[in-house]
């Protein structure tokens, strides 16, 4: 049986966003999910999640194959623990209305704060984009 991984996505990998195609065939475990952290717009067309116990970031949870996880790693510039990664990856508690999960997520360490251009107060990339278009 193939190994599956749970992944929390909060930006361009979400449903109807430009990189969601990487998740084609993945099982959506929760389309209304959230976790701790702050969400920032990078002003580069995608957000970053900053580790923090105070804020809330909204997104979706998917069950992905090992091959899809490799594609996600490529997209996020994640080469492995201790490497010169663009994004770091870790397991974090993710909540839905009915359950808690432990899922992988990609984030920016606080040391890379130059990426944190604009705090997304809602913690939701989709809401942020919708409000920008108004």
Residues assigned a catalytic role: 76
Query: Taking Cα atoms as reference points, which of 43, 33, 44, 27 lies closest to residue 10?
Result: 33
Q: Decide if 27 contacts 60 (C-beta within 8 A).
A: no
Distance CA 85, CA 116 (A): 17
Listing DSSP states for 33-67 in one string gives: EEEESEEEE-SSSSEEEE--SS-EEEEEEEEEEHH
Distance CA 50, CA 55 (A): 9
């Amino acid at each position: 049986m193939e190994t599956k991984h749970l992944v929390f996505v909060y930006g361009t990998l979400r449903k109807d966003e430009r990189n969601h195609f990487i998740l084609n065939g993945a099982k959506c475990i929760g389309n209304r999910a959230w976790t701790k952290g702050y969400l920032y717009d990078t002003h580069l067309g995608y957000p970053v999640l900053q580790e923090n116990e105070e804020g809330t970031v909204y997104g979706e949870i998917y069950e992905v194959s090992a091959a899809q996880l490799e594609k996600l790693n490529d997209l996020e510039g994640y080469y492995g623990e201790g490497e010169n990664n663009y994004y770091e990856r870790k397991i974090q508690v993710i909540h839905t209305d009915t359950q808690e999960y432990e899922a992988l997520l990609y984030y920016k360490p606080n040391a890379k704060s130059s990426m944190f251009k604009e705090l997304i107060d809602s913690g939701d990339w989709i809401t942020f984009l919708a409000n920008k278009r108004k």
